Amino acid sequence: MSDAYVECLVKQKQAGIWKVLKVFLIVLAVLFLLATLFTLLGIVCFILAIVAAVGSYLVNLFTDLEFEYIYVDKELSVDKVMAKSRRKRVATYSLDRVEAFGPVKSYHLDQFRNRNVKTIDYSIGEELQPDRRYALYYEGGIKLLMSPSEELVKVMKNAAPRKVFTD
């Protein structure tokens, strides 16, 4: 067995609507807090301020995402880091059960494109030019979209050269 270990951390792009919603909820919380001081409906405004602040926290927690790929001895683990404060193990994939791994637009993956598979996105969330996202087809009808580092791709190619493509 090889003793390969590689970590790769990628930040997922936050959609614009979530940024707007977060700012809106913060402004709403501040306005309700100020309204508590200057109106007769103090307790109602205070409760609404707390609800808006909690909503802003939850929107930030679930939209500020980073994915960490950890490759150790033919196993790829994917962790989700929420708002740089919580970590959750999402899944673990064995390299022995991978059918193919390569760039999203690689001709090597053409035979897998027409399959009806479940797609899971662990990538940066947007298509850049040039597109550096990779697709991993896993046994059992799963397609993973990832944005791995060159070092991670190189180590995976050394472990399974017939399944990993870099074109």
ω into 130 cis (within 30 of 0): yes
State phi, psi for 85 to the nearest 5 degrees: -130, -25
* Assigned token pair, 88: 């959750």
3-state secondary structure of 85: coil
Give me the tens of pLDDT residue by residue for the chain, a chain 167 residues long. Answer: 457 899 999 998 888 898 899 999 999 999 999 998 888 778 899 999 999 999 999 998 888 899 999 999 889 999 999 988 889 999 999 999 999 999 999 999 999 888 899 999 999 988 888 888 999 999 878 999 999 999 999 999 999 999 999 88
Contacts of 100 (CB under 8 A, 6+ apart): 108, 109, 112, 135, 136, 137, 163, 164, 165
Q: What is the pTM of this model?
A: 0.81
Using N-to-C axis directions, what is the helix angle for 16-38 and 42-63, rounded to 10°? 160
pLDDT of residue 2: 56
How many CB atoms lie under 10 A from the CB of residue 101? 27
Q: What is the pLDDT of residue 103?
A: 94
HSE-up (13 A, CA, CB side) for residue 96: 4
pLDDT given at position 83: 87
Please report where in the chains the tokens 């709403």 appear, as a residue.
28
User: Which residues sit opposite 80 in a β-bridge?
Assistant: 67, 88
Pair of tokens at residue 67 = 């994915």
Given a contact cutoff of 8 angstroms between Cβ atoms, the answer to whether 109 and 100 are in contact is yes
Residue 67, classed as helix, strand or coil, is strand
Q: DSSP label at 127?
A: -
